Structure formats: structure tokens, C-alpha cells
A = this chain, B = another copy of it.
Amino acid sequence: MIKGYKKIIDETLVSYFDEILENKTHLYAKKTIEAMKYTTCLGGKRLRGILCLEACRLFSNDYFLAIPASCALEMLHAQSLIHDDLPSMDNDDLRRGKPSNHKVFGEAFAILAGDALISLGAQIIADKTSKTIPNERILKAIREYLIAAGIYGIVGGQTADLEAEKSTLNLRDNEDYLNYIQTYKTGALFEASVAAGAYIGGADNEKIRILKEFAKSFGIAFQMADDILDVISTSKEMGKTTGKDEYENKLTYVRKYGLEGAKQKLILQIQSAYDILKRENLESSVLNELIEQIKKSVF
């Protein structure tokens, strides 16, 4: 099921970009469109898109309805990677084992590609979601996307992350601060993914609240694993530069709790994600497998 979801997301993303590239009207904007396509279609696990499709299927039994939204969320994720990798941000040359966006297209076009991905994703939810879905639900799905994109999401988390790096204050001892970074930088997009899918699938507000609680927990587990892998993996295995967190004075779970402490925290976090689903009767083979993948990546 996960493989099937991933395939649909990968193929639909390519088709969306090719549709835009084939439109002769936008011939002069080609370079930015190609930069947008480059990072978005570089692969990856498509976790956000899969969460969106599965959340929709849980309530409608028809994940097809959420394909545009799932692609939109992957575009937003790609946007955050492109801008995070910029020289003035994390200055990373490698992404998914390939040169990062600005290394291929230059800084200006990488900035423009990120900018345009933010609006394109939301526009795709508006334009390509089936007209059988009420406007109110489409609007709510777009709103979740927008919140994750900005100050209440990715940008808020990245701001706190940069501030921690550059700060002379001892933010490392501030657990609240670490949680803020991770909740917003990573968690918000996972929350938006399940919420957008669930709105399109017809879920009620209470179910959406619970799914978001799960996504938040899942997101923290994901980030803990990512922090641990940055220490224990090689760049080749990860497809991105590893060992950088330490070097760049990043505030991470490993820095805060030590490697073994972070592993202990991860086990508890994974259990908490399982528990939410079980308690609320929202278990599914796809969600269980996604949690299992995080566990296997580290242990």
C-alpha cells in the first residue's frame, strides 16, 4: 500500500510539472519551473503525501480524492528543503544524494523556485481537488497547508533553529525551545498532511484533532530518529551531509539527551504514537508501517 501511494505521488508530481512546462505561455519562466521540478521530483519517502492519502482513505475509503493535496504537501516539503539548503541558511550542497537546488540552478532561481512552490501547492488543492468535495472542506485543507507553510509552521521552526545556532544564550538547556523547533519545523507539516487528507475525506473535527495529535507525536519520533541518524550514519546512507548538526551548533535531541538518551526518548515516542491510534480506533496497516519504518531506521 505504501509503495502504491508513493508511486502515485511520484507520477502525479511529474505530470503536474510537465503540464506546466508544456504550456508555451510560460516559456520564459522555464528555468524556475525546472528548478521546482528538480527538487520536488528527486524522490524521497513521500511521508507527507502518504499520510495525507491514508488520512483521506480512513474516512472516505477513497484515497484518490486526496491526490492533489498529497502532491501539494510534497511540494511544500520540497520548498522547505530548497530554502533550508541555501548558503545563508544551512548551506548544504547535497540533498537526497544529489547537488542541492542552488548548486544546480543558482541561488536566485532556488529562492524563486521555493517561493513558487508555496503558492503552486495551495493552488493545486484549489484547482485539482474533485468538485464533489464541498468548498468549505477544500478551503479548510488549504488553510492547513498555509498554516504549515508559514510562521505557524516551517518558517517558525526554521527561525527558532537559526536563532539557536546563532544565539549566545544557552538555549541548549531549554527543552521548551527544542520542542518548539521540532514541533514547528517538522511536526506542523505532518499535522497539515493528515488534516488536509482528513478534511477532504470528510472527517469530523474531533477525528481531525486526534489525527493531528498522532501526527505531532509521529513528527517528534521522526525528528528524533533524524537527529540520531545524523550522528550514526554516513552521508552516503542518508543522501545528505551528516554530522553537520554537531559542527553547526544545532540544537538536537542528541545534543540535549546524548545518543543513548535520545534513543530511549525515541522508543517512548514511538509507543506514544501507537497508543494514540489504538486508543482512538484509528489503527491502519499503513500508519503502523510508517511508525515501524522509523523504528527500523535506528534500531
Contact = CB atoms under 8 A, between A and B. Distances in A.
A228 B122 CA distance: 36
B115 A83 contact: yes
A251 B47 CA distance: 43
A224 interface: no
A93 interface: no
A64 interface: no
B150 A31 contact: no
A59 interface: no
Contacts of A160: 28-29
A159 B115 contact: no
Nearest to A160: B28
Given A116-B155, A159-B31, A123 B150 contact: yes
A151 B116 contact: yes
Given A116-B151, A149-B118, A143 B123 contact: yes
Contacts of A29: 151, 155-157, 159-160, 184
Interface stretch (A132-140, A198-206, A275-283): A132-140
B115 A89 contact: no
B116 A115 contact: no
A197 interface: no
A151 B111 contact: no
A122 B120 contact: no
Copies of chain A in the complex? 2
A190 B276 CA distance: 48
Contact of A116 (B108, B120, B135, B150): B150
Nearest to A161: B28
Interface string A141-164: 011001101111011111110110
A127 B149 contact: no
Nearest to A149: B119
Contact of A151 (B26, B136, B151, B157): B26
A66 interface: no
B111 A126 contact: no
Given A28-B163, A114-B115, A126 B149 contact: no
Contacts of A33: 151
Given A31-B163, A123-B146, 20 more contacts: A26-B151, A26-B156, A28-B160, A29-B155, A30-B159, A31-B159, A32-B156, A83-B112, A86-B108, A88-B107, A88-B108, A114-B115, A115-B115, A115-B155, A120-B151, A122-B142, A127-B143, A134-B135, A135-B135, A139-B139
Interface of A: 20, 26, 28-33, 36, 79, 83, 86, 88-89, 106-109, 111-112, 114-116, 118-120, 122-123, 126-127, 134-136, 138-139, 142-143, 146-147, 149-152, 154-160, 162-163, 177, 180-181, 184
Which 8 residue pairs spanning A and B have beta carbons closest together? A119-B150, A88-B107, A119-B149, A29-B156, A28-B160, A135-B135, A116-B155, A116-B150
